[in-house]
Amino acid sequence: MSSRFLIVGAGFSGAVLAHRLAELIPGCMINVWEEKPHIAGNCFTERDERTGVMVHKYGPHIFNTDNKEIWDFVNRFIQLRPFAHKVKATYNGVVYTLPVTLHTINQFFGKAFSPAEAKEFVRSKTSTFANPANFEEQALSMIGPELYKAFFYGYTKKQWGCEPTELPATNLKRLPLRFNYNDVYYAHEHIGIPEEGYTPLVHQLLNRNNIELSLNKKFTPGEDLTAYDHVFFTGPIDYFFNYKLGRLSYRTITFETIYSEGDYQGTAVMNYCDPEIPYTRITEHKHFTPWEKHESTICFKEFSKETAEHDIPFYPKRLAADKQLLKNYRAEALKQKNVSFLGRLGTYRYMDMHHVIGESLKFAETFAACFENKTTKPAFPNTEE
């Protein structure tokens, strides 16, 4: 009898895993259940009917990685066009460049520093923490109090709904600090936007004879899974256990759509760093496809809030209490037979697309080897808690 697997979730983690398992385990049958009416999870893109613009329905996604294997993997299925992502930030009525570059520093402090002068100036403002324990300590040791207050404190409070002292330092480590005029947001070697959005990539990954996709199919905690040799769960790990130990905290995002003619803001992403402005950023989608021409424009204004029962979880907050709860859920997961947890929601981590893809590819290899050798299959792709 052929092996039968269930993958819950048709986002990147589930789709990459399905595709690679289908390649690695000949003859297996894979069911993919997706609760949404569409594939691609929060990377879902579709053309807006009114403007014809390709819209990132769950917020801006720019593919960026240093890993050539992952870049090549994605390019096997779709064409990624090079895209130099540049972000502007409004604070106190002035527009600056983000990440913090030499231009941001000179503009903010009204100076004309050279790189070496700016480095020394910023260093004189920073505090020393042997091991920055949270977002705020990381920021104060990296950029000092003025730049922190202007560009990070207000934005981060709006985005995460808590004091930056409660957040992991790693959230800030995502952003570089540059003492030059390079204003490309990501420091990665490969940066691109798929010509026709991300949805065709996921479609192609799942488009195989031995993969059966069911949309609008919600997984119910506790349901009978005995028909499957193994289950891969990419939804929220606390949902899998019906929240029996409590809820992990997430931020969710709501979008207000703005239609306009011409060019609304002149760039793809404008962040709003003042705490009094209720939204965090505005994305103007047509700037992600500079190779297309559109007269009209569509923008999303992003509002961040705590995730309530029926909201879509976006950002794992990973506060101290969450980390303890995650530990307990991971212990529960290890007691399961034949269930693995993957992806941003399954492992409760703030992950980028390339992390998710890389981890699913690797996990498929590990799983296939265990399956063939009849050894214990890992419950998680990562050991970190």
Task: Tell me, by CB under 6 A, how many residues bind ligand UDP.
Answer: 13
Q: Rounded CA gap, 273 and 288, in Å?
A: 22
In whole angstroms, how close is the CB of 60 to ligand UDP at the nearest point? 7
174 binds ligand UDP (CB under 6 A): yes
Does residue 330 carry a catalytic annotation? Answer: no
Q: Rounded CA gap, 20 and 25, in Å?
A: 9
> CA 382 → CA 142, 173, 174, 363, distances in Å?
28, 20, 19, 9
- Complex with ligand UDP: residue 159 or 307, whichever CB lies closer: 159
The binder of ligand UDP chosen from 12, 33, 155, 219 (CB under 6 A): 155
In whole angstroms, how close is the CB of 280 to ligand UDP at the nearest point? 8
Asked whether 54 and 45 are in contact (CB, 8 A), the reply is: yes
Which one of 58, 243, 279, 350 is the catalytic residue?
Answer: 350
71 binds ligand UDP (CB under 6 A): no
- Complex with ligand UDP: residue 233 or 314, whichever CB lies closer: 314
Q: Which one of 21-29, 122-130, 148-156, 328-336 is the stretch in contact with ligand UDP (CB under 6 A)?
A: 148-156
Does residue 174 carry a catalytic annotation? Answer: yes
Q: Rounded CA gap, 11 and 356, in Å?
A: 10
Which one of 20, 251, 330, 344 is the catalytic residue?
Answer: 251
Q: Which one of 150-158, 242-250, 316-324, 340-348 is the stretch in contact with ligand UDP (CB under 6 A)?
A: 150-158
Asked whether 70 and 77 are in contact (CB, 8 A), the reply is: no
Q: Rounded CA gap, 172 and 100, in Å?
A: 12
In whole angstroms, how close is the CB of 4 to ligand UDP at the nearest point? 36
Q: Rounded CA gap, 24 and 366, in Å?
A: 10
State how far Cα 361 lies from the chain centre.
17
151 binds ligand UDP (CB under 6 A): yes
Binding mask 241-280 for ligand UDP (x = CB under 6 A): ------------------------------x-x-------
Which one of 4, 81, 123, 174 is the catalytic residue?
Answer: 174
Helix, strand, coil in percent for the chain, rounding step 5: 35, 20, 45
Which one of 178, 318, 330, 344 is the catalytic residue?
Answer: 178
Does residue 350 carry a catalytic annotation? Answer: yes
Cβ atoms within 10 Å of 206's Cβ, excluding its own: 23
- Complex with ligand UDP: residue 21 or 62, whichever CB lies closer: 62
Q: Rounded CA gap, 57 and 61, in Å?
A: 10
- Complex with ligand UDP: residue 96 or 264, whichever CB lies closer: 96
In 72-217, DSSP assigns E strands to: 80-82, 87-91, 94-98, 190-194, 211-214
Q: Rounded CA gap, 334 and 241, in Å?
A: 12
In whole angstroms, how close is the CB of 98 to ligand UDP at the nearest point? 5
Which H or E element spans position 120?
helix 115-125
The binder of ligand UDP chosen from 6, 30, 54, 98 (CB under 6 A): 98
Which one of 34, 48, 284, 302 is the catalytic residue?
Answer: 302
Does residue 81 carry a catalytic annotation? Answer: no
Binding site for ligand UDP (CB under 6 A): 89, 98, 151-152, 155-156, 159, 171-172, 174-175, 271, 273
The residues carrying an active-site annotation are 174, 178, 251, 281, 302, 350, 352
